[in-house]
Structure 1
Amino acid sequence: MNMSDSAGFNIEDLINVPPLKEDEDMREIKVDQMIGKLRRLQQGKRVLEEEIKEIKSVSDSLQKELATLQNEACQLEGIHKEKEELCRKLQFQCEESEQDSARLLKQNKKSDELLEQYRCEIQEFKLKHRKQRMKFENQIHQLIEQHRNLHSVFTPEMLPDEIGSAENIKSQLLSAEQMKLAQLHHLNEELEEVKKQKQPRITVAQTQEE
């Protein structure tokens, strides 16, 4: 339904106005009709003006809402770009951390292998040293027993030479033992150094994982 219908008039009524007769009464009737139609037109105009005013108000509100939405969209777009940049940085840091972790794991594996090798060498050295010590003790006992036997066989004049020879052999065996002990101490120091180098790497790897 349009505004002219709601106001109770029809524009066609204004267009299709029948010609006036000369009769005075007819003129008055036509004037009254024209006045009535004019009033209805004025009323329709007011209704149209109110509707236009209401539409303009709604349009202004929609324009303001549109401007607000556009502003919010710009802000959200800026936040989205910041989030994307932060995400790229975090992804890059994550990849670097994974590479560092893999490198540390590889280094730790090598350190473990080297540490195990040192352990085996130390165990082997200890076993070898134990055998040499047992051999040395057996040789000492044999020498003591030989000296006891020689004391009864050789003259007292030859005993100092035999004792000197035994002491020389004993000194050589003790020197060999001291050398082996020094080597063992050196291997232990290398083992401790490997442990110290390994510990900070493990701590760094654990910190990055946390």
Structure 2
Amino acid sequence: MSKLTGFNIEDMVNVSPLKEGGETQEPKVEQLMSKLRRLQQGKRALEEEIKDIKSVSDSLQEELATLQTEAYQLEGIHKEKEELCRKLQFQCEESGQDSARQLKQNEKSEELLEQYRCEIQEFKLKHRKQRMKFENQLHQLIEQHKNLHSIFSPERLPDEIGSAEKTKCQLLSAEHLKLAQLCHLNEELDNVRKQKQLGTIAAETQEK
């Protein structure tokens, strides 16, 4: 600044005016004292202005440091958010893949369950036919034995009855074997149902 509180820098250069004819006029003591006071006032004004500028500069430096700290913190938060976003996206993709696998597994379980149902129905029908055949054979044997009783002698009757009992035991053994096979198929069907229920519960747990 060239002027401060009435102080002119030109006064420092032109200490005393020139007289007419080019001779230098000696300054008076009062003029010198006045100029000295003005110089001191200018110095104090410059010092105050420098102090104010320094204060403003310090404030700006502090504000800059605060902004840099906030920018660093925001950058860290931004990185954390990006990382969280990537993790959530990865989990979402995994969940979708798990759901697709679970759906495919459920479809296979349904197909297998339907296959077992058909096999069990077929086995029941076959067993019913065999039982009816067995009952018919048993009735025929009973009728035959009744007829044979009148034909053969009483001495041969125990042997014929024993043979009929043996045939009956064989037929009963075959029936028990078929019933055991049917129970085994029922157990396999129950296991498939349990696996399906466990798969459904696991899928619901993953969705939550």
TM-score, structure 2 normalization = 0.75
1:116-195 alignment, distance < 5 Å: 116-151=114-149, 153-157=150-154, 159-160=157-158, 162-195=160-193
Out of 29, 41, 47, the position equivalent to 1:49 is 47
CA distance in 2, matches of 1:200, 1:167: 49
Moved more, 192-201 or 113-122: 192-201
CA distance in 2, matches of 1:13, 1:193: 111
> 1:37-82, CA deviations, whole angstroms, 9 ceiling, x for partnerless residues?
5433432332232122111101101101211221232233233323
CA contact (8 A) 1:3 1:47 kept: no
Paired residues in the alignment total 203
One-letter amino acid of the counterpart of residue 178, structure 2: K
CA distance in 2, matches of 1:9, 1:199: 97
Residue 80 of structure 1 corresponds to 78
What is the deviation of 1:155? 4.0
> 1:6-32, CA deviations, whole angstroms, 9 ceiling, x for partnerless residues?
61344456666631479xxx978x664
What is the deviation of 1:91? 2.8
CA distance in 1, matches of 2:152, 2:129: 35
1:43-122 alignment, distance < 5 Å: 43-122=41-120
CA contact (8 A) 2:123 2:182 kept: yes
Residue 18 of structure 1 corresponds to 17
What secondary structure does 1:19 align onto? coil
Residue 7 of structure 1 corresponds to 5
**Structure that is richer in helix per residue:** 1
Unaligned runs of 5+ in 2: none
CA contact (8 A) 1:118 1:187 kept: yes
CA contact (8 A) 1:3 1:44 kept: no
> 1:105-144, CA deviations, whole angstroms, 9 ceiling, x for partnerless residues?
2222212211221122112211221232233223333433
Judged with a 3 Å threshold, the aligned counterparts in structure 2 of structure 1 residues 41 and 176 are, in CA distance, closer, same or farther, namely: same
CA contact (8 A) 1:21 1:27 kept: no
C-alpha RMSD of the superposition: 3.2
Unaligned runs of 5+ in 1: none
What secondary structure does 1:105 align onto? helix
TM-score, structure 1 normalization = 0.75
